[in-house]
Amino acid sequence: MKIKKEIYLSLKKIFTSAEREIQEVNNITELNNFQSKYLGKNSIISFYFNKLIQLNISERKECSIILNDFKKNIKNKINNKKIKLQKSIWKNKKNKSFFDVSLPGRKFERGSLHPITMIINKIKNIFNHLGFLTYYGPELENIYYNFDSLNIPKHHPSRSINDTFWFNSNHILRTQTSSMQVRILEKYSYPIRAIFPGKVYRRDYDHTHTPMFHQIEGLIVDKAISFANLKWILENFIFQILKKNVKVRFRSSYFPFTCPSAEMDIQDKNGNWLEILGCGMVHPNVLKNCNINHNIYSACAFGIGIERIAMLKYSVSDIRCFFENDIRFLKQFV
């Protein structure tokens, strides 16, 4: 029991000294040094804890209680002192703080949708009011849906590796959202009024073209659908999306999956004509691929370039501005 008495008397003397010393601590650094002195690896309590292994079990238990009580009391002293120091720090900061009412207020930056997303949403709203439903399709497309089912011949230039991103002999990054036409016709019954927004990919890059861009394909399948219906829908769409009356014209063109085919042009302020979209009556071969009787049902389709519409609406001359993520450019649409 000699060791127990030795530990008790020694720690009692040390605790009295620690009480006086902690009252003189004035900052967190001094408090950390105090903690290392009395509870650290080289402290007296660590020395006695290491010495416990030399004692028998009964003595070890009794001495452990004394050592742990001392450790607990010292920790309580440290915690109480830390709270006092922190309160003192905050009080000093509060007294030193000064509010300058002449300083400008902090400006909270506002975010917004990307201009391309804004245009897509506006186009969807316009066509939704006309009864069109919105569908989405895969960007990695089977060549049957992207080419074969759309009446695009094997030798067509769009199948070239110079124009299209090929994954393998059967799959590509879709070159047009027209690939959704057959998917919808296979899955749903008629009549159909649908639009298909999404990304498309082509090997092209300059101030009016990028390898990835956005399209919205439109499709109507019903009895007695004519080119007159298509013309009215597209004229109405252009007037609504651009929010102004513009001169438009339909110019004869060629697409493998429509017949007759046309391109829609609008006239700019300088009197020049600009191609805005492609359209036409769906080719009978496309309807035949979906087992639709073209003698009963007719269909029309159109493809709109989202970036082209955005460039016209926002007077942007370079399509690459939409994809460079220049915050100065994007802030204009907040």
Q: How confident is the model at residue 323 (pLDDT cuts 50, 70, 90)?
A: confident
Q: Which residues contact 180 (CB under 8 A, 6 or more apart)?
A: 135, 137, 145, 196, 198, 217, 219
> Taking the model in full, what pTM does it have?
0.64
Report angle CA 130, 262, 277 to the nearest 5 degrees. Answer: 60
Tokens of 309: 């519409």
CATH class of 115-333: alpha beta
Tell me: the pLDDT tens digits for 17-68?
A: 777 777 878 888 887 887 887 777 777 777 777 777 666 777 777 777 777 7
Tokens of 137: 């399709």
Helix (H) or strand (E) holding 331: none
Residue 94 is predicted with a pLDDT of 63
Residue 39 is predicted with a pLDDT of 76
Residue 123 is predicted with a pLDDT of 94
Q: Percentage of the chain with pLDDT > 70?
A: 92
Tell me: the pLDDT tens digits for 168-209?
A: 888 989 988 888 888 888 888 778 899 999 999 988 777 777
Whether the per-residue pLDDT at 2 is higher than 70: the answer is no
Most confident of 65-74, 96-105, 216-225: 216-225
Burial class of 125 by CB neighbour count within 10 A (0 to 12, 13 to 18, 19+): exposed
Peptide bond into 256 cis (omega under 30): no
Domain boundaries, the chain: 2-96, 115-333
- Residue type present at position 261: S
Tell me: the pLDDT tens digits for 270-298?
A: 888 888 899 999 888 888 888 888 888 88
